[in-house]
Amino acid sequence: MLILIGLAALAQTTLPSRLPPEQLERLRALCTALEARPERNAEELQTLATCYFRGDGLPQDLPRARRLYAQAAELGYAKAGCALGNMMISGRGGPRDVAAGLALCRSAAEAGDADAQTDLGGYLLAGVVTPKDSAEARRWLTIAARQRHANAAFLLGQVYWNGDGTPKDRAEASRWWRVAHEGGRADAALLLGREAMSRVMRRATRPEEIDRIVLAEALRWFEIAAETDPSEGGRAQAREGADILRRLQSAL
């Protein structure tokens, strides 16, 4: 059972779409084994649905994924409820039904699923498929982020940085971006570099007033981002920020 649970984690929708070859082989073996089983429990149905949704372990089949998510949700598996809800909201694998999809995500969020809490918070924050409600979005994102959900923490950091429905709080933004980075959001490093750099520039009017410790912190985050940010644009911005800070550091 421990091996199955460990392999099942590879099939979750929060992973990148292109897995390393060795992980992809393990995922294929898991998905194939689950497909061959005559009976499956709710967690296995959820995992198999994700195999078909992502198309990493088996050929992508969105209608099949949607049916399997529905079966898992009927068995009370909260995570499957919002996965199904997301497909209904987007109309993937079947008819689009935004209201029913949101209701499924809310139910799963209320049941304690951090993925569902994050998705619901994201919908409320964006205000595209449901009216924008920054306060309610922040509430759900906070609940998920306190469980150290990386995507929730990333979004929550943006909420505090932008002052979206709450006073701007750069320290709080930095706090949650750190949680996001620790949870695997490599793109949070660039934001942490920018936040620390803003402290360097904001607190000094003359070179001798620059806080060298904060400057070193900002440089460290930019250097991390320059190596690990998932986008070339992000890596380029990090290199530019690091160059600026190195020149400033050498002038002190």
Domain boundaries, given as residue ranges, for the chain: 20-111
Tell me: the pLDDT tens digits for 179-217? Answer: 999 999 999 999 999 999 999 887 666 666 788 999 999
Asked if 114 and 147 count as a contact pair (C-beta separation under 8 A), the reply is yes
Question: Is the pLDDT confidence value at 136 over 90?
Answer: yes
The reply to whether the predicted model has a pTM over 0.75 is yes
Query: Where does the chain have alpha helices with state H?
Result: 2-8, 21-36, 42-54, 62-74, 78-90, 98-110, 114-126, 134-145, 150-162, 170-182, 188-202, 212-228, 232-251
Spatial neighbors of 2 by CB under 8 A, at least 6 apart, are: none
Question: Is the pLDDT confidence value at 247 over 50?
Answer: yes
Q: Which two tokens stand for residue 92?
A: 């993937």
CATH topology of domain 20-111: 1.25.40
Tell me: the pLDDT tens digits for 117-131? Answer: 999 999 999 999 999
